[in-house]
Structure 1
Amino acid sequence: MKLFLPKQHGAWAMLIIPFWLGVIEGGFVWQDVPFFIGWIFLYLATYPMLLLFKKKKIQFYTKWTIIYIIPALLLLLFPLLKRPSIVLFGLSMLPFFAINAYYTSKNKERAFMNDMSAIFAFSLAGLAASYLGQGALNIQALIFPFLTSVLFFMGCTFYVKTMIREKKSNKFKWISWAYHLLIVAAWFFSGFWIVAIAYIPSLLRAYFFYGKKLTPLQIGVYEIVNSAIIFIILAIQIVTLN
């Protein structure tokens, strides 16, 4: 049986980076392993679940939703049993899921607000991972991994749109360039110079790659490299602060 998998390959970085930054911030516990695997299955389940709102191929999408959601729920019992209040993070994701469902039903999955909603939901998983480890949230946890992830993936969204769907929009180009520059400057002047360094590759690729004839595959490969760079640098920053 061929697996039914999401087509948004960039979402895998959003699935991984905030979660494991949260683990580093909150401290590793063995429940993080089933938590992460369950988180993957939950992501896989939401893909066919959202497609149900298109009201097409109902039986097919229902089957795959059930196939993925069962192991997701079983695995997510491990973090839930350790910290029952972690369920609040799951509940906080529901409004973002509703937004995604709305845009899916309208066949507007590429809408900017739909992307932002997904980014916030994925970044909340980082907060949940941090909370699982230390049993509390503080300002540092809100910055790492939540805020850093939200800002990074928003930049990725701007960049990818300037390279594909908005590549002929001069206005969107300047929005992307200004955003990336302001993020680096904001982190630098707030005293987080290591974090500022982490965002510099994003700034450089947003500027120098703009207008280049890169294939979607090439864009994706460069984004994997960029995601790896920012994860490593942010992880170093978290370790130095803890």
Structure 2
Amino acid sequence: MNVNRNEPSRPLSAKSWFPDQPGAWAMALLPALSGMVVGGVDGGRLWLTGAWLLCYCVQFMAARWLRSRFQRRYLPPVLTYAALLAVAGVPLLAMHPLILVWAPLYVVCAGVSFLCAWLRRERSLWANAAAVIATSMMAYVVYAFDAPDLLERTGMGLALAGIFMLTQFGSVLYVKTMIRERRNNRYLAASWIWHAVLLALACAIPGRTVPMMIIAAILLLRAVVMPLLGRRIRIKPIAVGMLEMVLSVAVCAYAPFCAPWISMALTF
């Protein structure tokens, strides 16, 4: 069928102006909330978290625009969210310039994300890893917000970020074994190994980290049982996503209590 490329693009629906992946929203928001719990809830951290969510919206819309090879219909959301981010972000940076110390990390993560979107490989492990690093480090960024000396907060910040990096990338592998790589034994083995190492690390940390050990054991159990069950019966993606949401909230709830013990272990 011939398509007239000069015809105006079909406008986006209202729903298309918002990122449509609940799991990605949770991945973006929960580490920042955890950092806020540990660092303290205040206006600055709330402002930073709001600006971060706008960053996520800009990234999502820009990646979709790149993937479409610059289709005009996808440009208005990019410009709108970019303008909102400028309104929220420029005053924040002017008042709290220390945030810019994180700029190189996020420029690299954004670059990887946009390159993968252009190559239409946005669900590759490279793109997933960039997203996990960016979102997980927000626990550190929010926790250490406006601290005059970041080194003083390195242990706790890395502990919080590390918890989310390990659990979120494990979630990435697990979800792939349930949906896109459902019968790929290499992904299944990688997921099992990752979650086994995660459980071993949780058990190796001294102190009151029993809740995290229990969560790590549950994560390993679901990484083993659910993909095998999914090869026998069809499990809908929505069910996979809802389970991950519950487990992600559990990780977020207990991370602030376990992070101090992990921080002390990192110190010695």
- TM-score between both structures, scaled by the size of structure 1: 0.90
Aligned residues with identical type, % of pairs:
20
1:239, distance to aligned residue in structure 2 (A): 7.3
Answer with 184-193 or 105-114: which moved more. 184-193
**Mapped pair 1:211 → 2:228:** yes
**Mapped pair 1:59 → 2:80:** no
Answer with 151-160 or 207-216: which moved more. 207-216
- Aligned equivalent of 1:148: 163
- Aligned equivalent of 1:163: 178
Distance 1:161 1:55, change over 3 A: closer
Distance (whole Å) between structure 1 residues aligned to residue 78 and residue 191 of structure 2: 36
Distance (whole Å) between structure 1 residues aligned to residue 112 and residue 199 of structure 2: 29
Equivalent residues, number: 241
**Residue-by-residue CA offset, 1:177-230 (whole Å, 9 max, x unaligned):** 121011111121132633333322211211221233210010011111111111
Determine which structure has more spread, i.e. the larger CA radius of gyration: 2
Listed as ranges, the matches of 1:1-242 within 5 Å are: 2-3=14-15, 4-54=17-67, 56-77=69-90, 79-132=92-145, 134-135=147-148, 136=150, 137-144=153-160, 146-191=161-206, 193-194=209-210, 195-212=212-229, 213-238=234-259
- TM-score between both structures, scaled by the size of structure 2: 0.82
1:161, distance to aligned residue in structure 2 (A): 0.7
Contact 2:109 2:130 in 1 (8 A): yes
Contact 1:24 1:238 in 2 (8 A): no
Contact 1:155 1:176 in 2 (8 A): yes
Distance 1:55 1:13, change over 3 A: closer
**Unaligned segments of structure 2, at least 5 residues:** 1-12
Distance 1:186 1:238, change over 3 A: closer
Distance (whole Å) between structure 2 residues aligned to residue 24 and residue 239 of structure 1: 13
Distance (whole Å) between structure 2 residues aligned to residue 28 and residue 82 of structure 1: 18
Q: What's the RMSD between the two structures over aligned residues?
A: 2.2
1:108 is aligned with what amino acid? Answer: R
